[in-house]
């Protein structure tokens, strides 16, 4: 009976997938949803490709999984990947549906699954991936993720439920580096990167998980990520199997030390979190048996997903549209820190509310008091335009962060924000938008570009 | 004005630090004492005008209780003497008898006659809130894996919209939080004082301050808009993961 139910679920899913592909809805989860509804343990019963890789953790999942999928494809493997951000049950089922035939035989070489960390205790033991990358655990939306300790507990259960999975884990993250006691673990990390990290308001790791004493950092690279030790009980950063030793002067490559030596790899994007993302990928690809040269080559021809960041030049001003996850103090603070350290003169448009469609609807703004708006109190930032239904809350938060009123504009209609920035005399205009309003963020970016053009600005070919 | 913040290194989960930032901005000469979990609280041997404790993880509740238990009598003495105590989020639960987590009973400070049920493997409760306290509208959010019931000395806030202490309570009149003299404990979490400038003025006055606030106009503007939204008939108080 269990088998019959499974095959009905498989065939229903495959049929829907076929139809959806024919009508161009290739990124729709419904085939996966149908299979999961018809057979609860569909993910356990469906055959998996020879290589299945899950990527989870709070930040960096999409970047890492998309790069891994692209690199495997460039090696000539056929790869299925839930690249549309559908990292829940249905999206994962839809992704795996694409890797099997109607007889439940694998028809693809590999499957890369971006997996939401909250559901990982359910899905990872069912999928039993060959590898699971855990990039970090940090403060995220309280509504769904509660708190980092809770998420670390979920990941621990996921590892415990799939002990045969090799866990590639960030040794520099004290919130997650101790999970997976039963798994083979490959630790990655980074030496001190001289990033001079700012102090954050919200400290996700402040006391030793064993004895409650204060932890000492030998160094921090960003937020709670770094080399730590508890001087009371001795709990410390595990030895790293892959350790990034340094970033080149032009920030285009990193040296990664491992047992076989120290090798250089291209760094596809700046920012300390990208050093960790890249080191995680190097650890995976090397553990899969690829040579350092092959991994370096693959990295050199791989790109980050475009929706995370776009850049345009208009009248010699760089217009940068970038994701900063609303409700996620870690993500937004990291972006704010990057903006503060970027010495160019700039104006910002901030669109971080999740709910735009109903101005009457409320959403929590508690997270903005965990977010380091203080970093924006910086001479390089000439003006901040806040847009969205909760703009008054962001405005008050900026005032409490010490920003002068004359630097801040506040408007509910996000499309009005484009008219409030001035490109004269600045090097860059940033548009920061929530991950759930990518198209709106891009529309505001286009409105900014049009606004500059209307003032006589010319698009530069760069 | 001397304000002691208990265990800020982990009682800070949901933007709770905003409360103290707002007090400090409003009363620049206030002395803020941050007491970490390995230190003897300042209130044990010294005088304070206010004690604040914010939201923490479930595991940290046990650490917090173990640190406060030796000083429970002194804490009660200060409450009896009218010292302002504010607890936000699940810090409320510390003042009850115990937390029941499946078959486990985790003792709390046992200062008041209520207890907590924890349901961490079930759906997290997320909701918006509007209520009333001494003629003031109180707004905020809840996000929790637990719910409490029992005898709350004097309920803190009458619920106008949203959920009370027991989130399953279907009574017509519901209450949120615990109030005893100048102890105010509420599941409403995070920057409670920033979200509620009238209440902030109220407690500042309890401490002898004139009640003027930093960025009062802007804080009241955001507050009035939130009250208006939450009083709208179409408001749905239960929140999904996107608000």
Q: Residue A101: which CATH number?
A: 3.40.1190.10
Q: Mutating which of B39, B222, B235, B237 best tests the A interface, going by the most A Cβ atoms within 10 A?
A: B222
Residues with Cβ within 8 Å of B136's Cβ and at least 6 positions away in sequence, in order, are B196, B198, B199, B202
Q: How far is CA B4 from CA A129, A211, A239, B16, B44, in A?
A: 49, 24, 39, 14, 11
Largest CA distance in chain B: 51
A379 within some domain: yes
CB–CB contact A143 B243 (8 Å): yes
Q: Note whether A378 and A258 are same-domain residues.
A: no
Q: Note whether A11 and A29 are same-domain residues.
A: yes
Alpha helices in A365-462 (DSSP H): 391-400, 417-420, 438-454
B16 min Cα distance to partner chain A (Å): 7
CB–CB contact A214 B36 (8 Å): yes
- Give chain B's mean pLDDT: 94
**Domain end marker among A266, A300, A334:** A300
CB–CB contact B13 A147 (8 Å): yes
Phi-psi region of A290 (alpha: psi -120 to 50; beta: other; left: phi over 0): beta
* pTM of the shown model: 0.92
CB–CB contact B143 A146 (8 Å): yes
Residue A353, classed as helix, strand or coil, is coil
CATH classification at residue A337: 3.90.190.20
CB–CB contact A149 B60 (8 Å): yes
Provide the pLDDT for residue A273: 86
Q: Which residues of A touch B59 (CB under 8 A)?
A: 149
Provide the pLDDT for residue A326: 85
A31 within some domain: yes
CB–CB contact B243 A367 (8 Å): no
Using the 8-state DSSP alphabet, how is residue A416 labeled?
Answer: G
Of A147, A213, A366, the CB nearest to B15: A366
Q: Which residues of B touch A396 (CB under 8 A)?
A: 194, 215, 218-219, 222
Q: Note whether A114 and A261 are same-domain residues.
A: yes
Instruction: Assess whether pLDDT exceeds 80 at residue B136.
Output: yes
Q: From first to last of the 462 residues of chain A, give the pLDDT tens digit.
A: 788 999 999 999 999 999 998 898 877 889 999 999 999 999 999 999 999 999 999 988 989 999 999 999 999 999 999 886 678 888 999 999 999 999 999 999 999 999 999 999 999 999 999 999 999 999 888 888 889 999 999 999 999 999 999 999 999 999 999 999 999 999 999 999 988 899 999 988 888 888 878 889 999 999 999 999 998 999 999 999 999 998 887 878 999 999 999 999 999 877 788 899 999 999 999 999 999 999 999 999 998 776 678 899 998 899 999 988 888 898 899 999 999 999 999 999 999 887 655 555 567 899 999 999 999 999 999 999 999 989 999 999 999 999 999 999 999 999 999 999 999 999 999 999 988 788 889 999 999 999 999 887 676 655
Asked whether this complex has an ipTM greater than 0.90, the answer is yes
A220 within some domain: no
CB B88 within 8 Å of CB B17:
no
Q: Note whether A400 and A287 are same-domain residues.
A: no
CB A10 within 8 Å of CB A35:
yes
Q: Which residues of B touch A141 (CB under 8 A)?
A: 241
Q: How confident is the model at residue B123 (pLDDT cuts 50, 70, 90)?
A: confident
Query: Which among A165, A157, A159, A128 is positioned nearest to A45, based on CA atoms?
Result: A128
Q: How far is CA B241 from CA A117, A198, A364, A370, in A?
A: 14, 30, 10, 18
Q: Note whether A438 and A397 are same-domain residues.
A: yes
A224 within some domain: no
CB A111 within 8 Å of CB A81:
yes
A354 min Cα distance to partner chain B (Å): 7
A95 min Cα distance to partner chain B (Å): 23
Of B12, B59, B143, the CB nearest to A149: B59
Given the structure tokens 């001190």, which residue do they identify? A192
Q: Note whether A284 and A317 are same-domain residues.
A: no
Residues with Cβ within 8 Å of B87's Cβ and at least 6 positions away in sequence, in order, are B52, B53, B54, B94, B95, B183, B184, B185, B186
Q: Note whether A287 and A416 are same-domain residues.
A: no
Q: Mutating which of B191, B217, B221, B226 best tests the A interface, going by the most A Cβ atoms within 10 A?
A: B191
Joined together, the tokens standing for residue A43 give: 């993910």
Chain B, nearest residue to A372 by Cα = B15
**Burial status of residue A103 (CB atoms within 10 A of its CB: 0-12, 13-18, 19 or more):** exposed
Chain A, nearest residue to B236 by Cα = A361
Joined together, the tokens standing for residue A385 give: 């335009």
Provide the pLDDT for residue A168: 98
Joined together, the tokens standing for residue A268 give: 């596809």
Q: How confident is the model at residue B169 (pLDDT cuts 50, 70, 90)?
A: confident
Q: How far is CA A423 from CA A32, A316, A376, A446, A459, in A?
A: 46, 9, 18, 14, 13
A202 within some domain: no
- Of the candidate ranges A347-356, A437-446, B94-103, B205-214, the one whose mean pLDDT is the lowest: A347-356
CB B149 within 8 Å of CB B187:
no
Q: Note whether A275 and A322 are same-domain residues.
A: no
Q: Which residues of A touch B37 (CB under 8 A)?
A: 207, 212
Using alpha carbons only, give the angle B214, B216, B221 rounded to the nearest 5 degrees: 140
Provide the pLDDT for residue A360: 56
**Burial status of residue A23 (CB atoms within 10 A of its CB: 0-12, 13-18, 19 or more):** exposed
**Domain end marker among A240, A271, A300:** A300
**Burial status of residue B173 (CB atoms within 10 A of its CB: 0-12, 13-18, 19 or more):** exposed
CB–CB contact A207 B10 (8 Å): yes
Largest CA distance in chain A: 71
Provide the pLDDT for residue A270: 76
CB–CB contact B218 A395 (8 Å): yes
For residue A394, what are the domain limits? 306-454
Query: Which among A86, A87, A175, A179 is positioned nearest to A136, based on CA atoms?
Result: A175
A218 within some domain: no
Compute the half-sphere exposure of residue A214: CA atoms within 13 Å on the CB side of its CA: 11
Provide the pLDDT for residue A194: 86
**Domain end marker among A269, A300, A331:** A300
Chain A, nearest residue to B217 by Cα = A396
Chain A, nearest residue to B193 by Cα = A366
Instruction: Assess whether pLDDT exceeds 80 at residue B92.
Output: yes
Q: Note whether A78 and A159 are same-domain residues.
A: yes
- What is the number of domains present in chain A? 2
Query: Which among A35, A155, A85, A34 is positioned nearest to A438, based on CA atoms?
Result: A85
B92 min Cα distance to partner chain A (Å): 17
A283 min Cα distance to partner chain B (Å): 32
Residue A359, classed as helix, strand or coil, is coil
d(CA A379, CA A122): 48
Phi, psi of B102 (to 5 degrees): 55, -115
B168 min Cα distance to partner chain A (Å): 18
A181 within some domain: yes
Of B25, B141, B229, the CB nearest to A366: B141
Compute the half-sphere exposure of residue A74: CA atoms within 13 Å on the CB side of its CA: 18
Domain ranges of chain B: 2-231
Compute the half-sphere exposure of residue A306: CA atoms within 13 Å on the CB side of its CA: 5
Q: Note whether A167 and A76 are same-domain residues.
A: yes
Provide the pLDDT for residue A356: 55
Of A362, A366, A399, the CB nearest to B226: A362
A157 min Cα distance to partner chain B (Å): 12
Chain A, nearest residue to B189 by Cα = A366
Provide the pLDDT for residue B124: 87
Q: Is the dihedral of CA A259, A263, A267, A268 positive or negative?
A: negative
Architecture of domain B2-231: 3-Layer(aba) Sandwich (3.40)
Joined together, the tokens standing for residue B112 give: 């008041």
Q: Note whether A281 and A391 are same-domain residues.
A: no
């Amino acid at each position: 009976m269990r088998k019959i139910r499974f095959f009905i679920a498989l065939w229903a899913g495959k049929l829907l997938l076929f139809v959806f592909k024919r009508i161009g809805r290739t990124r729709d989860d419904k085939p996966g949803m149908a299979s999961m509804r018809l057979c609860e343990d569909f993910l356990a019963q469906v055959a998996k490709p020879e290589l299945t890789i899950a990527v989870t953790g709070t930040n960096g999942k999409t970047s890492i999984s998309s790069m891994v999928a692209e690199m495997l494809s460039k090696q000539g493997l056929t790869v299925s990947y839930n690249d549309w951000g559908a990292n829940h049950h249905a999206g994962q089922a839809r992704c795996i549906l694409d890797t099997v035939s109607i007889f439940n035989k694998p028809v693809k070489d590999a499957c890369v699954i971006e997996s939401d960390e909250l559901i990982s205790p359910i899905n990872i033991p069912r999928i039993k991936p060959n590898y699971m990358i855990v990039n970090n655990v940090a403060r995220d939306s309280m509504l769904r993720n509660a708190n980092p300790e809770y998420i670390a507990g979920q990941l621990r259960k996921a590892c415990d439920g799939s002990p045969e999975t090799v866990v590639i884990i960030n040794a520099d993250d004290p919130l997650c580096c101790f999970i997976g006691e039963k798994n083979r673990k490959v630790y990655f990390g980074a030496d001190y990167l001289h990033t001079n990290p700012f102090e954050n308001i919200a400290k996700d790791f402040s006391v030793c998980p064993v004895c409650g004493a204060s932890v000492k950092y030998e160094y921090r690279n960003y937020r709670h990520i770094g080399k730590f030790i508890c001087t009371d009980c001795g709990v410390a950063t595990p030895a790293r199997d892959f350790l990034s030793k340094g970033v080149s002067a032009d920030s285009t490559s990193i040296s990664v030390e491992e047992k076989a030596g120290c090798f250089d790899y291209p760094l596809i994007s700046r920012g300390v979190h990208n050093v960790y993302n890249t080191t995680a990928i190097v650890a995976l690809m090397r553990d899969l048996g690829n040579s350092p040269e092959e991994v370096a080559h693959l990295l050199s021809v791989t790109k980050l997903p475009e929706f995370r960041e776009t850049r345009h030049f208009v009248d010699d001003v760089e217009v940068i549209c970038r994701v900063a996850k609303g409700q996620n103090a870690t993500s937004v603070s990291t972006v704010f820190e990057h903006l503060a350290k970027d010495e160019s003169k700039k104006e910002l448009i901030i669109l971080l509310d999740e709910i735009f469609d109903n101005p009457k609807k409320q959403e929590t703004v508690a997270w903005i008091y965990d977010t380091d708006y203080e970093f924006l109190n910086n001479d390089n930032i000439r003006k901040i335009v806040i847009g969205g239904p909760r703009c008054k809350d962001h405005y008050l938060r900026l005032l409490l962060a010490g920003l002068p009123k004359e630097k801040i504009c506040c408007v509910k209609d996000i499309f009005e924000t484009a008219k409030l920035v001035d490109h004269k005399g600045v090097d860059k205009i940033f548009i920061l938008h929530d991950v759930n309003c990518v198209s709106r963020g891009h529309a505001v970016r286009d409105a900014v570009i049009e606004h500059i053009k209307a003032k006589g600005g010319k698009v530069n070919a760069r | 004005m001397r304000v002691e913040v208990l265990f800020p290194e982990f009682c800070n989960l949901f933007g709770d630090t905003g409360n103290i930032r707002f007090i400090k901005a409003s009363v620049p000469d206030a002395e803020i004492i941050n007491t970490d979990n390995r230190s003897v609280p300042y209130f044990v041997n010294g005088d304070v005008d206010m004690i604040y404790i914010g939201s923490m993880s479930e595991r940290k509740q046990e650490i917090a209780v173990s640190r406060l238990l030796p000083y429970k009598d002194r804490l009660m003495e200060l409450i009896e003497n009218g010292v302002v105590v504010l607890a936000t989020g699940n810090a409320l639960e510390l003042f009850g008898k115990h937390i029941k987590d499946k078959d486990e009973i985790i003792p709390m400070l046992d200062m008041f006659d209520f207890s907590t049920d924890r349901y961490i493997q079930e759906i997290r409760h997320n909701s918006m809130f509007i209520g009333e306290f001494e003629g003031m509208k109180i707004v905020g959010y809840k996000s929790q894996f637990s719910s409490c019931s029992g005898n709350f000395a004097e309920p803190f806030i009458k619920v106008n919209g949203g959920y009370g202490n027991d989130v399953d309570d279907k009574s017509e009149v519901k209450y949120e939080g615990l109030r005893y003299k100048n102890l105010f404990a509420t599941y409403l979490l995070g920057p409670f004082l920033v979200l509620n400038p009238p209440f902030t003025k109220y407690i500042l006055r309890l401490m002898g301050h004139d009640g003027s606030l930093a960025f009062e106009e802007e804080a009241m503007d955001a507050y009035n808009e939130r009250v208006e939204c939450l009083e709208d008939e179409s408001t749905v108080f239960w929140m999904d993961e996107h608000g």
